Each structure stands twice: as structure tokens, then as C-alpha cells.
């Protein structure tokens, strides 16, 4: 049994616009965007939504960590210990100012 309805959040309105609306024929990430569009077109309901970076500290933290990783993919079975407060804040709707 798989998921039939999913919501994805991004702090990049440009990325959401590229995926949902733009003509990307000559865009540098055209093949990646087309792969995302192909996944979205499958038999499920997908919602892409904008979220402020300040409201999604956990994802922002992981993105920053990932930018400095040598491995192509890292799977986390459980959240890193330093993420506990961030996850709690995200779930509670706490906002932080950008640094």
C-alpha cells in the first residue's frame, strides 16, 4: 500500500514555478524538472506549496549539511540529535529570523 496524496513544501517560489508553469525547453535544469513533472503526472495527488525558510528549519538544516557532503545520498533512519529542537519548532509553527 502506497501513498496516494502527498504535499511537498519548498522555500523556492522559482522552483515551484518552474515545475508547475514555465516553459523549460532551454533551461539548464530542464531534464530534472521534466523528471519531476513525470513523477507528478502519475496516479496520485501531489500538492506543491511554498513555505518560508524560517518555518522549515529542519529542511534548511539538512540542505546546508548536504551541500558539504561527499556522499551522493545519505539516508537517515532517525533524525540527527541536533535536529530535535528544530523538528519540535517546525511542528509547533515557531518562526526564526534569518541569519
The pLDDT of residue 85 is above 70: yes
pLDDT value at position 98? Answer: 65
Global confidence as pTM: 0.68
Distance between CA atoms of residues 18 and 30, nearest Å:
9
Nearest to 50 by CA among 6, 15, 90, 9: 9
The pLDDT of residue 96 is above 80: no
The pLDDT of residue 1 is above 60: no
The pLDDT of residue 99 is above 70: no
pLDDT, one tens digit per residue, over 52-81 is 887 888 888 888 888 888 888 888 898 888
pLDDT value at position 74? Answer: 86
What phi, psi does 71 have (nearest 5°)?
-75, 145
Contact 51, 9 (CB under 8 A): yes
pLDDT, one tens digit per residue, over 22-49 is 788 888 999 999 999 999 999 999 999 9
Amino acid at each position: 500500500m502506497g501513498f496516494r496524496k502527498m504535499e511537498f513544501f519548498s522555500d523556492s517560489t522559482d522552483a515551484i514555478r518552474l515545475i508547475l508553469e514555465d516553459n523549460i525547453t532551454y533551461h539548464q535544469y530542464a531534464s530534472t524538472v521534466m523528471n519531476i513533472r513525470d513523477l507528478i503526472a502519475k496516479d496520485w495527488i501531489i500538492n506543491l506549496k511554498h513555505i518560508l525558510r524560517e518555518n522549515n528549519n529542519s529542511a534548511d538544516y539538512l540542505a546546508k549539511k548536504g551541500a558539504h557532503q561527499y556522499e551522493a545520498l545519505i539516508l537517515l533512519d532517525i533524525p540527527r540529535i541536533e535536529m530535535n529542537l528544530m523538528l519540535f519548532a517546525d511542528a509547533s509553527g515557531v518562526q526564526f529570523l534569518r541569519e
